[in-house]
Structure 1
Amino acid sequence: MEHLEHRLEQVRRIKTAELPGPKSKEWDERRINAVARALSPGLPGYVVDADGGVLLDADGNSFIDFASGIAVTSVGASNPKVAQAIAEAAKHLTHTCFMVSPYASYVEVCEKLNAITPGDHEKKTVLLNSGAEAIENAVKIARAYTGRNAVVVFDNAYHGRTNLTMAMTAKNKPYKTGFGPFAGDIFRAPTSYPLRDGLSGQEAAARTIRMIEGEIGAENLACVVYEPIQGEGGFIEPAEGFLAALIAWCREHDVVFVADEIQSGLCRTGQWFACDHEEVVPDLITTAKALAGGMPLSAVTGRKEMMDAAVVGGLGGTYGGNPVACAAALAALEQMEELRLTERAQGIERATRKVFEPLVAEGIIAELRGRGAMMALELGKQKEGKLVPDPELTSKVAARLKAAGVLTLTCGMDGNVIRLLPPLVINEDLLNEGLELMAQFLKEEAS
């Protein structure tokens, strides 16, 4: 991987005797008094600066960032070209609302997404604020196009925290508990989970299709919504052929296939989109997270005839496609190309596999999976042909890493998966330091 120069020193350094340090501890006391209890940050430090692969807290502690703000800061948390674009845009207008008085940057972002998303068919795009909002609008578009209501989602899926997307999300705690009732006409189908089901892609797809045809009926189905690599559910990569078979069935039955690439898209998996791995083309694709380099922006991009199905005025929102966020997106997308972030993601995968594949062979890790800079370690032991998850080991390792200055995230329905989401601009020496420390702690805690 090419070494990149960054503004901040790219080092892991814990300066305070304990975490959080005194300044961060003071801020955390203020948080407890001022912020809703449900928001409980994971990092033991209040971030005042970030660049490349590090987060700097108020006490001068420098953490290796293996989270990227949940896959958002792919081009870096303070990418100079993105920051410059934001500042320049804000000089002229911070808001007008595209539905009221339009501006060019909204159109330019749509044109760019139409060009880079999978497929060479005619496409159109609508811009929104968050990933959940993109998913909701994709469902609206599919329903308007088909005239049907039912939506199929999958085991382990995560699609957001709004009422509709909570219904689409699988995991109860902390996302859904106490927040119902949820939107109706949402049906959950079995997915492909090779480690646990042992099925080929074709076998898993056949099981899914049987369920859809038997319990819902294609004639009632507006869309199938699928994460090509599941995110919060555990970075589950379906068996080869599952995705292609599912899309083929959708085409045959005029069902809209929606690819949720909010976490996996935009260079994260070593290609522009995770769908590119199997060369499959979704009807609609949702993006967010890395799209605007940290600014709130999301999108639905899809087939022209589908995107035009909603009535005039039926899509939109006050802040959707904000001009400052659009300027940031144009700069971030340009940086993805200039810095060759697909190649850097592939380099991150090679480094990750080099460190952790030996631990799979030793039985310390049940599975290393994912692609590019979207990799996961599932922890547990096989017993009588079934995986027994180990969330306790997962929590211990994650806690030790934070204390040592490495921020990681856990995920999975059983809480037994460590996910790796470093910024794609992280340098190799810093990446390797964090990976080696994780491997060391895994070995020590598993022994």
Structure 2
Amino acid sequence: MTELSGGPALPQERRLVTPIPGPKSQELLARKAATVANGVGTTLPVFVTRAGGGVLEDVDGNSLIDFGSGIAVTSVGNSAEAVVRRATEQLAAFTHTCFMVTPYEGYVEVCEQLAELTPGDHAKKSALFNSGAEAVENAVKIARAYTGRQAVVVFDHGYHGRTNLTMALTAKNMPYKHGFGPFAPEVYRVPLAYPFRWLTGADNCAEQAAAQAIDQITKQVGAENVAAIVIEPIAGEGGFIEPAKGFLPRIAQFARDNGIVFVADEIQTGFCRTGQWFACEDEGVVPDLITTAKGIAGGLPLAAVTGRAEIMDAAHAGGLGGTYGGNPVACAAALGSIETMRELDLNAKAKRIEEVMKGRLAALAEKFDIIGDVRGRGAMIAIELVKSGTREGAKTPNPEATAAVAKACHAEGLVVLTCGTYGNVLRFLPPLVIGEDLLTEGLDIIERAFGTL
């Protein structure tokens, strides 16, 4: 049973009573096709009725193991007691006033928590929004207001959102950018330290990638023209790429030396996902601004920009905000989510998930030579698939095998996601509260899926 369920206890077990998807899900899928825009895709078309702990229950009565967490959102589970309790209390009190019209304490409390939890002991302020893309876009606005500059530097394999500006910041064309241009100007892309694919080897990656990035910024943009450098401490949609050690501190130092606002996009990595409150803590990097969303509020829409007070205050009064930004129910959920993370020490749980998953996946890599790389931190783990026999050679991406493994996992009742610039990465984002028995069973399913190739 789940200890975090907000309603009746949900059995923590995988249970398949129909093929996946079942007949009721297929009926709903037909209704979706009739009324929902085709551009809104679905990875696994099972329609969920209940969820909690490490499982999702669908309309057909199937119970699936969740290795997706709604893309790193439900880190505390889908129905954490503190999230449900606080959100329910707030829902009964009032649903909305608009903080820009008549404020409320919950918004301030979330900002206080962000000031305490984010890296650095400097004075900090925050502004709250609805989505990760909104947070990134507002971080750029704030950096431009503070510096009086326009250019923004981003990195290969980066993902930052689906608005016009954040599509420009995002590296991958399909499915995020294709056919949606023209995009916002003054965005410049430089190399990321991608150890598995660095041409001269992982040992040279950090130094050479940083040198190339800084050289391109200096020569092609001019450091004096750059308002912000925006980077994910671990690239998410790009393939769960953990930059080679030393790369992030070098880029952050370059930003500091040149009056550039260093923005850590921690939308997918933040709030215990990597075994630390924020991934940039791993190398002691203290960003000027940090963007958060996803795991912050246990599934309710909330996002934030948090940073140095003098930078955050650069925008004029009324220049930041939005009708729903920092909605009171979402703020209450965030306070419940943070309470749960503290009480259950979810950083420690994320580290245990890493220990279990990496051990099993490393053994799989020895067994199946199409697994080219096992990487990630905490409960943000991935394997990159290559053509058979190319692991130490050309490392040719293998998106076909990646799709086949994901499909086999789905059929057995395990929710897994794919990602990567080349579509060849399986990514695993289990809820941090998942039971170790479910974690192990999920890994067994993954191993069987490779055996079917």
Superposition TM-score, scaled by structure 2 size: 0.96
Distance in 2 separating the partners of 1:52 and 1:384: 39
Residue among 405, 408, 420 paired with 1:400: 408
SS in 2 for 1:246: helix
Question: In structure 2, what is the equivalent of residue 289 of structure 1?
Answer: 294
1:370 aligns with 2:376: yes
Give the alignment's Cα RMSD to 1 decimal: 1.2
Alignment of 1:188-203 (within 5 A): 188-197=189-198, 198=201, 199-203=204-208
Question: In structure 1, what is the equivalent of residue 70 of structure 2?
Answer: 69
Question: In structure 1, what is the equivalent of residue 267 of structure 2?
Answer: 262
Question: In structure 1, what is the equivalent of residue 344 of structure 2?
Answer: 339
Deviation at 1:207, TM superposition (A): 1.2
Distance in 2 separating the partners of 1:402 and 1:383: 26
Residue among 305, 308, 315 paired with 1:303: 308
Superposition TM-score, scaled by structure 1 size: 0.97
Alignment of 1:47-126 (within 5 A): 47-126=48-127
Contact 2:274/2:347 (<8 A) preserved: yes
1:312 aligns with 2:317: yes
Distance in 2 separating the partners of 1:292 and 1:353: 27
- Number of residue pairs matched by the alignment: 442
Distance in 2 separating the partners of 1:396 and 1:88: 45
Deviation at 1:384, TM superposition (A): 7.8
SS in 2 for 1:300: strand
SS in 1 for 2:153: strand
Question: In structure 2, what is the equivalent of residue 161 of structure 1?
Answer: 162
Question: In structure 1, what is the equivalent of residue 210 of structure 2?
Answer: 205
Distance in 1 separating the partners of 2:189 and 2:209: 14
Look up the equivalent residue of 2:156 and give its one-letter code: D
1:234 aligns with 2:239: yes
Distance in 2 separating the partners of 1:114 and 1:416: 37
* Per-residue Cα deviation, 1:70-117 (whole angstroms, up to 9, x for no partner): 000000111122111111001111000111100000000000001100
Distance in 1 separating the partners of 2:278 and 2:392: 37
Look up the equivalent residue of 2:174 and give its one-letter code: K
Residue among 443, 449, 453 paired with 1:441: 449
Look up the equivalent residue of 1:433 and give its one-letter code: E
Distance in 2 separating the partners of 1:406 and 1:10: 13
Cα distance 1:58–1:384, how it changes in 2: closer, same or farther (>3 A)?
closer
Stretch moving more, 20-29 or 248-257: 20-29
Distance in 2 separating the partners of 1:329 and 1:5: 15
Deviation at 1:250, TM superposition (A): 0.4
Alignment of 1:354-365 (within 5 A): 354-362=359-367, 363-365=369-371
Deviation at 1:200, TM superposition (A): 3.0
1:389 aligns with 2:391: no
Deviation at 1:440, TM superposition (A): 2.3
| Percent identical | 59
Cα distance 1:349–1:383, how it changes in 2: closer, same or farther (>3 A)?
closer
Q: Gaps spanning 5+ residues in structure 2: where?
A: none
* Per-residue Cα deviation, 1:284-308 (whole angstroms, up to 9, x for no partner): 0000001011000000000011000
Distance in 1 separating the partners of 2:139 and 2:400: 37
SS in 2 for 1:259: strand
Distance in 2 separating the partners of 1:286 and 1:251: 18
Residue among 413, 426, 437 paired with 1:418: 426
Look up the equivalent residue of 1:380 and give its one-letter code: V
1:427 aligns with 2:423: no
Distance in 2 separating the partners of 1:376 and 1:383: 15
Q: Gaps spanning 5+ residues in structure 1: where?
A: none
